[in-house]
Amino acid sequence: MILIKDGGVATPLGFQAAGINIDIKGTGSTKKDYGLLISDVPCQVSATFTKNRVKAAPVIYDMKLLDEQSDFFGIIVNSGNANACTGQIGLEDTEKICKEAENILELPDKSLLMASTGVIGVRLPIDKMLQHINELVENLDDEDSNFSESILTTDTRPKKLAVLVETDNGSFVVGGVAKGAGMIAPDMATMLAFITTDVIIDKNAQDEALLLAVENSFNSITVDGDMSTNDSVFLFSNGMSGINVSHGNNYELFKEALNFVCSELAKMIVKDGEGATKFVTITVKNAKSYDDAKKCAFKIANSPLCKTMFFGSDPNWGRLMATIGASMIEFNEDDVDIYFDNLKYVANGTLIDPDLEDKAYEIMKKSEFAITIDLKAGNFSKTVYTCDFSYDYVKINADYRT
């Protein structure tokens, strides 16, 4: 597996992308906020969506289409407006934009999907969006820096990468672009990810590979534990490499590449979390079940007490113990070991030596560190990624009409 310099969603064979500014929020912003990702030939699409009971119009639209068919040519995206809590009109707007783009691109009906992110409860500027589809199409090229910029909200930088994988039969590419769990002050934004690949793959194998990759990447990160109305991950495969990865070693190579791309994008999201100053890897080892390990790891990753403690570089193991206990999983307090990076800090539920506190403090002062909890209650482990809670998190999310 080779990392491709400046790679992204337009890197696999047959994909093009575009991103332009049309000032969707109407605030005079010059940031690119309208994008298009397209394949020369139909793609087989797998996707996962937010579990929030309140789903944005494009999510409802895409879920319905994906229930009916699995072949699409691409996706239209916008930032600055989530098209959520917009009722029937929001759905109609989504459909209008897709239909107009399908006409202009001379594609079959319902062959495009849509994803939005930004303010909730405001109707899309539909006329402006219909009017600029031509411009989007004219801007399509093999670079995806414009596309990756068009989906950003409070993100401070684009998130993209692509990898080349060699097989016995030739090579294939997996590329990806994501936007982070940030906010477009003062409104909720969301997490979006688009993965493209030029492999040939059975739909079931593709679905399975995406579910697994998402579980270990986008579903293993948290910035603030809040769930958005628009979270979506799409995987487009267009087969243009001619490499079939449905079975055997090729399937393993494909899953490995997909996991890598999703994990790297997920980590980029956390590192660019709102106000984040630290990237913290939380591993819960030897839990009684996978659910226990995951519940405990996320309880720590989402705890305001733990996250402010990360911000303050405070090796307060008591807070960790209390949070483990509050996760209500099965474990014995007197068995717990806690490591800060490779430093064993707590053994069998007790601080090994107060003198270790200074060493733990030095580890926590770094911009990246890991906390490992060994529960000694079973054989299941889970790693999640989180960031700290800083003054800037409060600032970004509290500032009214800035």
If the CB atoms of residues 82 and 165 are measured against a second copy, the closer one turns out to be: 82
Q: Per CB under 8 A, which region of 91-99, 234-242, 285-293, 347-355 contacts a second copy?
A: 347-355
Long-range contacts of 14-17 (CB under 8 A, 24+ apart): 14/39, 14/40, 14/41, 14/198, 14/238, 14/240, 15/39, 15/40, 15/142, 15/175, 15/196, 15/198, 15/236, 15/238, 16/40, 16/140, 16/141, 16/142, 17/140, 17/141, 17/143, 17/144, 17/146, 17/147
- CB closer to a second copy out of 84 and 214: 84
Nearest 5°: the CA angle 261, 268, 315 is: 125
Within 8 A by CB and 6+ apart from 352, the residues are 344, 345, 346
Beta-bridge mates of residue 161: 176
Instruction: Tell me how far apart the alpha carbons of residues 150 and 33 are, in angstroms, rounded to a whole number.
Output: 4
Q: Which residues does the annotation place in the binding site for substrate?
A: 153, 179, 190, 274, 397, 402
- Binding a second copy (rule: CB under 8 A), the pick from 1, 2, 3, 328 is 328
The answer to whether 355 contacts a second copy (rule: CB under 8 A) is no
> Would you say 37 or 276 has its CB closer to a second copy?
276
* Catalytic sites, residue numbers: 190
Binding to a second copy by residue 279, rule CB under 8 A?
A: no
At closest approach, how far in Å is the CB of 2 from a second copy? Answer: 39
x/- mask, a second copy, residues 61-100, rule CB under 8 A, reads ---------------------x-xx-x-------------
Contact with a second copy (CB under 8 A) among 203, 313, 347, 376: 313
Distance of CA 163 to the CA centre of its chain: 17
350 makes contact with a second copy (CB under 8 A): yes
Which tokens hold the place of 320? 């960790």
Establish how many alpha carbons lie within 13 A of residue 389's alpha carbon, considering only the half-sphere containing its beta carbon: 15
Distance CA 198, CA 142 (A): 14
- Selected range binding a second copy among 11-19, 37-45, 182-190, 257-265, rule: CB under 8 A: 182-190
Range 202-261, binding a second copy (CB under 8 A) = 224-229
Q: In sequence order, what are the residues at sequence separation of 6 or more whose Cβ sits closer than 8 angstroms to the Cβ of residue 129?
A: 22, 24, 34, 78, 93, 97
Rounded to a whole number of angstroms, the minimum distance from the CB of residue 389 to a second copy is: 6
In this chain, which of 26, 108, 170, 304 binds a second copy, going by CB under 8 A?
304
- The residues binding a second copy (CB under 8 A) are 51-55, 82, 84-85, 87, 119-121, 183, 186-188, 224-229, 303-305, 308-309, 311-314, 316-319, 321-329, 331, 333-334, 349-351, 361, 389-391, 393-395, 397-401
